[in-house]
Chain A
Amino acid sequence: MSILERHFDNRDDLVSYVKQLAPWAEGNASEIRGGRLECEKRISSLDAVRYGKTRNYGNGSVSMLSPFIHHGVITLNEVRNYVIQGNDSHKSIESFIRELGWRDFWARFAENNEYFLWNDVEHYKTGYASDHYQEKLPEDILEGDTGVACIDGFISELLKTGYVHNHARMYIASYIVHFRGIKWQVGARWFLSHLLDGDIASNNFSWQWIASTFSNKPYIFNLENVHKFFNGIVNTTPSKNSVLNASYQTLQKRLFPNLEIQDG
């Protein structure tokens, strides 16, 4: 038992100190800094009105508050109080407040349904039973070397910074579960260790939402969609993303052939 250091001349010294404390922990430090001051910077630059119009875009006005909310640096209540202060119209900030609601919803569901944190809430609506899905995450995904350029770009961001835009999280999760046929639990566990905001409720239920075990249908996407929202942020060249380069109808048939048979 010992009292740990609180004063460092610079960030590099702090990082080396944490490395000594936790030599077992993988990876490098993120450029995203912790602390209340950093959190306050983010909240004061938040534009909750613009958020509503741009939140799905890679360069949209998202808050990047999640690591701070998750670690209790700021509460959902404080964030909401801050946002409503300067905005009289509910409509203009509805989108932002509703997203805070998603976090609250998942947390409340988890409190009453601990079992479902790691087990399917419902069956897959993909035409496959859960034993169709693989139990292991392949190396190429772990290393961000899948050969699908945009997915590799998103994974590299995850590994480097521990923060990924919500839309990109949806793409990665959908790619893993539906394009590669891997159990959502495997991807969820991997996300939890890397995300600075890794939160068992928001994360695992979001994975289940994508997988369709906690939603009415599987979430899928195509290259056109990635290009629309992340053009210039990740590589969306068709030849480098060929598995995604198809219409929704084609992908639906390719990914869920059993559904066709059932529907037909």
Chain B
Amino acid sequence: MAEKILLLHEKALRYRFDFDQTSNDFKAIHIWDDAYYRMQRYSFKRLVFIYETLLELPLEIIHGNTLDVLKAQNVEQIVIPQTGDQALTNLFKEIEKIKTVQYLSETPFVPIDRTFQFKRFFKYWNQAKKTAFLNNGNLCA
């Protein structure tokens, strides 16, 4: 039986993460949450795009309210790819109230402090271009 759930939300529709995916102790799911998609006001073409992408991933697509679906899973830990998206981040905070959440971070495009306060692109780019042309933004091997 799976001990962890990898929750692939609509901003992380891929299957390569910095996380041990060889073991059998996890299963990947996507929750098709009507309330969430309605709140986003997605057009039909966008929903088809998302569903079509899900079909190529080795996961279960579960229809229901995100929190109800997760509550019903007999696992303690939910692994979630991180995103800067505010609506999803708020949802993840709700998940933290019912399960243990482990976040997977994404290799950033460039290693600039995330609290930066540039208001114009050229200021950002003056820093970013120092590593933007390097593999992994020069962050790891």
A14 B43 Cβ-Cβ under 8 A: no
Chain B residue with minimal CB distance to A216?
Answer: B120
Closest residue of chain B to A81 (Cβ to Cβ) is B135
Q: Does A46 contact B (CB under 8 A)?
A: no
B55 partner residues in chain A, CB cutoff 8 A: 6, 8, 14, 35
Q: A264 interface residue, CB < 8 Å from B?
A: no
Q: Is the CB of B132 within 8 A of A101?
A: yes
Partner of A34, one of B50, B85, B109: B50
Say yes or no: A111-B14 contact (C-beta < 8 A), given A71-B49, A77-B136: no
Chain A residues, CB < 8 A from B13: 71-73
Beta-carbon contact of B46 and A162 below 8 Å? yes
Q: Which of A35, A192, A200 has the most CB of B within 10 A?
A: A35
Q: How close is A65's CB to chain B, nearest CB, in angstroms?
A: 13
Are A21's CB and B32's CB within 8 A? yes
- The answer to whether B60 touches A3, judged by C-beta atoms less than 8 angstroms apart, is yes
> What distance in Å separates the Cβ of B132 from its nearest Cβ neighbour in chain A?
5
Q: Nearest Cβ in chain B — how far from A204, in angstroms?
A: 12
Partner of B106, one of A75, A98, A109: A75
Interchain CB contact under 8 A, B128 and A194: no
Known contacts being A76-B109, A105-B124, A201-B84, is A30 close to B14, with CB within 8 Å? Answer: no
Q: Does A139 contact B (CB under 8 A)?
A: no
Residue picked from A18, A37, A195, most chain B C-beta under 10 Å: A18
Whole-angstrom CA separation of A29 from B47 in the bound complex: 8
CB of A249 closer than 8 Å to a CB of B: no
Q: Are B45 and A28 closer than 8 Å at their CB atoms?
A: yes
Mark interface residues in B124-136 (1 if CB within 8 Å of A CB, else 0).
1100110011111
Are A111 and B84 within 8 A (Cβ)?
A: yes
A4-B61, A108-B124 given; A84·B49 CB < 8 A:
no
In contact, B61 and A3 (Cβ under 8 angstroms): yes
Contact B46 A198 (CB under 8 A): yes
For B12, the chain A residues whose CB sits under 8 A away are 72
We find that the number of chain B residues with CB closer than 8 angstroms to chain A is 62
B115 within 8 A of A: yes
CB distance from B77 to the nearest CB of A (A): 20
Are A102 and B81 in contact (CB-based, < 8 A)?
no
Q: Are A77 and B63 in contact (CB under 8 A)?
A: no
A161 interface residue per 8 A CB criterion = yes
Is B110 in contact with chain A by the CB < 8 A criterion? yes
Q: What are the residues of chain A within 8 A of B52 when measuring CB–CB?
A: 11, 14, 33-35
- Say whether A105 contacts B44, CB under 8 Å: no
B contact residues around A22 at 8 Å (CB): 34, 37, 44, 47
| Residues of A17-49 whose CB lies within 8 A of B | 17-19, 21-22, 24-30, 32-37
Whether B56 sits at the interface, judged by CB under 8 Å, is: yes
Interface presence of A90 (CB below 8 A): yes
A112 proximal to B (CB < 8 A)? yes
Closest 7 CB pairs of A and B: A34-B52, A34-B53, A1-B64, A25-B44, A30-B45, A72-B12, A4-B61
Q: List 10 A-B contacts (CB under 8 A).
A: A34-B52, A71-B13, A72-B10, A72-B81, A74-B14, A84-B135, A100-B132, A104-B128, A112-B117, A200-B86
| Contacts from A to B (Cβ < 8 Å) | 1-6, 8, 11, 14-15, 17-19, 21-22, 24-30, 32-37, 67, 70-77, 80-81, 84, 90, 93, 97-98, 100-102, 104-105, 107-112, 114, 117, 121, 161-162, 189, 192-196, 198, 200-201
